[in-house]
Structure 1
Amino acid sequence: MTYRGRFAPSPTGLLHAGSLAAAVGSWLCAKHARGQWLLRMENIDPPREVAGSAVAILAALPAFGLMADAPVIYQSSRAAAYDAAFEQLKQARLVFPCWCSRSDLAAADGIHRDGRCVAEPDPHREPAWRIRVPDEDIIFDDALQGEQRQNLRDAVGDFVIRRVEGFYSYQLACVVDDAWQGITDVVRGSDLLDSTPRQIWLQRCLGLPTPRYLHLPLVLDAEGRKLSKSERSLEVDASDPLPALRRALAFLEIKSDQNAVNAGDLLDSALAHFDPKNLPHCSDHHLA
């Protein structure tokens, strides 16, 4: 099967150094495998979206030499597909409505493990919908971080796939869209490492294929925190792309031609030296 990778930013701010490193890493992995690199805008959460950021992110990527091999997909246009997946889960009795408040869940450390709602149904308000999870380990092999294992019941419990407001969760939308786009390999930041077992469980429930996963180390700020799109000082400058692109490649420990005069040449030189096996590890994000 032809390698198909993707970069899937959310429009919650402008492109920053951490997102650029993830985009570069995923692009290099796809091109190293002589595959395709796709773009998906994960604009499924309108309350968190920053106006204009989707357009700005997509406009910035070509300045860094990152050109998609197919038109961008917007999750905001995919509601029918998420509805269909949700109905499939309902028909299989794998999901249940939940009216539990945070105080209802406090006694269980905020984790729902009963496979049913413990609160009284409230006909005057919409419920969230949760998917039942097994009391067993989900195990997968990350191409960079090695074997990962997580007991969903212990770690996250029955998790929400449709919120009270009617918005579908990132987990469900990501799984449906990865399958629809034919994604064979997911390369992304290690902040999403602990989401992978939930996504694998949803893939199994929906009868969808499981792609290969590779989780990159995170770019952290001076205090050791994950970069946030809300921190304007960390935005990358698409009008002068070479400094930020060189920093992204250095962070990923990828050699490149320091004399390159444009982003395309710099990426091509990096690709000539690139081997995903040599990417830096991030053991602090290991699930085991």
Structure 2
Amino acid sequence: MKVMDADFSAGAARFAPSPSGRMHLGNVFTALLSWLSARRSGRRWILRIEDLDPQRSKAEYALHIEDDLRWLGLDWDEGGMDDRGEAGPYSQSRRGEIYGEILGRLERLGVTYPCFCRRADIMATQAPHQTDGRIVYAGTCRPERLGYGESRRRAVSEPHAVRIMVPDEEICFDDRVFGRQSVALSGHCGDFVVRRADGAWAYQLAVVADDALMGVTEVVRGCDLLLSTAQQLYLYRLLGFDAPSFAHVPLLVNTGGQRLSKRDASASLESLRARGARPQSVVGRLAFAAGIIDRPEPVAPTDIIGEMDWNRIKPQEAILTPEID
């Protein structure tokens, strides 16, 4: 499968859920804002299934996601389990050959190296409170430190991850919600993994390859991924791909300030649908929480396309009022 540099002049947005469980309101919040922005701007909307983790991902969950999106009135132009469109496959588990070619490009640039460190080894290098829970790789296996001959010799016989060497510079970008961002990769994460020791593809490489080759020009996703954008922008630059614009949506919380997640059964669409909730009520409450509409009234997604405005969405927690009916 030959990797080609895509040329999609119309542009596209995407929703890329992980099929590791039923959709919850936090997922829907992101999907709704992405869909509204795409429809307002005339972009295609792609449904991509991010099933890189074979242990947690299940095809049945992907089918449930599709059913939930249809129920909500969020239609997609490409992708899904039936691979509608020309940039497929649209499931990451079937794009390994593409990722291999992308990794080959990076290897030819001389910016990758094998890493033999175990997680315990990496954690041992972290100073207490140094990274606020983040892991910053110290570059232990960089060939100039380990030895070029030693690195090549061990790579032949030992399992190893593949890391990208990062520069000692700041990566800057403008987020449509959180504004100007500046991240020093060497201090934020250090050299990062693009392929794990077990052969699994890392999210950072896969998401850049997918968005670039699918013609994605706008990425809308949760704010928990905000700082990972710098790593991806570095990969875009190395690979010569045009980077998309980014909009990281606020965290959706309940009235008690708790994040809505898959562990909260009451916030799952499965639970809401079983209780008889209407899709228009779900859409209306989420649109109100985002600040797109002034009252939490039932609406269809198509009714509020014209109301979508990123300037209305503030970089603070979005509070979901209770009692969706």
Using the size of structure 1 for normalisation, the TM-score is 0.89
Separation of aligned partners in 2, 1:166 and 1:259: 48
Shift of the alpha carbon at 1:257?
Answer: 8.4
Compute the RMSD of aligned alpha carbons.
2.4
Do residues 74 (structure 1) and 91 (structure 2) align?
yes
Shift of the alpha carbon at 1:193?
Answer: 0.4
Q: Closer, same or farther in 2 for the Cα pair 1:88/1:255, shift >3 Å?
A: same
Separation of aligned partners in 1, 2:171 and 2:140: 18
Do residues 98 (structure 1) and 123 (structure 2) align?
no
Shift of the alpha carbon at 1:273?
Answer: 2.1
The alignment-based identity, stated in percent, is: 35
- The answer for the alignment partner of 1:197 in structure 2 is 230
Separation of aligned partners in 2, 1:227 and 1:29: 22
Deviations 1:138-191 (A, max 9, x none): 000112211101000001001111111101011110000001110011111111
Which shifted more, 230-239 or 97-106? 230-239
Deviations 1:108-134 (A, max 9, x none): 444223373467747654101111111
Unaligned runs of 5+ in 1: 284-288
Separation of aligned partners in 2, 1:50 and 1:226: 24
Q: Is the 8 A contact 1:98 1:116 kept in 2?
A: yes
* Counterpart amino acid of residue 248 in structure 2: H
Separation of aligned partners in 2, 1:258 and 1:252: 10
Separation of aligned partners in 2, 1:152 and 1:168: 20
Shift of the alpha carbon at 1:221?
Answer: 4.7
Separation of aligned partners in 2, 1:122 and 1:81: 22
Q: Alignment partner for residue 13 of structure 2, among 5, 27, 30?
A: 5
Which shifted more, 156-165 or 41-50? 41-50
Q: Closer, same or farther in 2 for the Cα pair 1:71/1:103, shift >3 Å?
A: closer
Do residues 87 (structure 1) and 81 (structure 2) align?
no
Instruction: Give the SS at the match of 1:129.
Output: strand
- The answer for the alignment partner of 1:52 in structure 2 is 60
Summarize the alignment of residues 20-169 of structure 1 with structure 2, pairs less than 5 Å apart: 20-50=28-58, 52-72=60-80, 73-105=90-122, 106-109=124-127, 110-114=135-139, 116-117=141-142, 121=154, 125-169=158-202
Separation of aligned partners in 1, 2:12 and 2:92: 18
The structure with the larger Rg is: 2
Instruction: Give the SS at the match of 2:262.
Output: coil
- The answer for the alignment partner of 2:313 in structure 1 is 279
Do residues 177 (structure 1) and 210 (structure 2) align?
yes
Unaligned runs of 5+ in 2: 1-8, 81-89, 128-134, 318-325
Q: Is the 8 A contact 1:89 1:206 kept in 2?
A: yes
Which shifted more, 211-220 or 248-257? 248-257
Q: Closer, same or farther in 2 for the Cα pair 1:224/1:163, shift >3 Å?
A: farther
Q: Closer, same or farther in 2 for the Cα pair 1:111/1:272, shift >3 Å?
A: closer
Instruction: Give the SS at the match of 1:52.
Output: helix
Separation of aligned partners in 2, 1:94 and 1:221: 44
* Counterpart amino acid of residue 64 in structure 1: L
Using the size of structure 2 for normalisation, the TM-score is 0.79
Separation of aligned partners in 1, 2:104 and 2:259: 36
Shift of the alpha carbon at 1:258?
Answer: 6.8
